Amino acid sequence: MITEIGAFLHKGTGSKLLAELEGDKRILGIYVEAGRTEDLFAFREFGSASENDIVTILAEAKNADAIFKLISEKADLTEPQSGLVYQMPLHKRAS
């Protein structure tokens, strides 16, 4: 059973996270996309939106708690405007 842990973070944070987690044996895959968000951050760059990074991590379910906590701490979710981390199950895996 594998799980997806995703995070909507400030622009630039995704690449840093990618570099920090590179080589972590618990992580099966990590991907970073750039996008825009309507409501997570108060600053505005494009009309009503602001730039952000979307990080997607694939991991075994047994490691999900530790990775979720790690990402949440790195995102510093105790502060406002820091982003959002989520977790969802994936039902099939092939590689």
Q: Which residues make up the interface to other proteins (CB under 8 A)?
A: 3, 8, 33-40, 49, 52, 54, 64, 68-69, 72-73, 77-89
Tell me how crowded residue 50 is: count the other CB atoms within 10 A of its CB: 19
Q: Which is nearer to other proteins, 24 or 31 (CB)?
A: 31
Q: Which is nearer to other proteins, 1 or 29 (CB)?
A: 1
Closest approach of other proteins to the CB of residue 92, in Å:
13
Residue 60 and residue 48 in contact, taking contact as beta carbons nearer than 8 Å: no
Residue 50 and residue 58 in contact, taking contact as beta carbons nearer than 8 Å: no
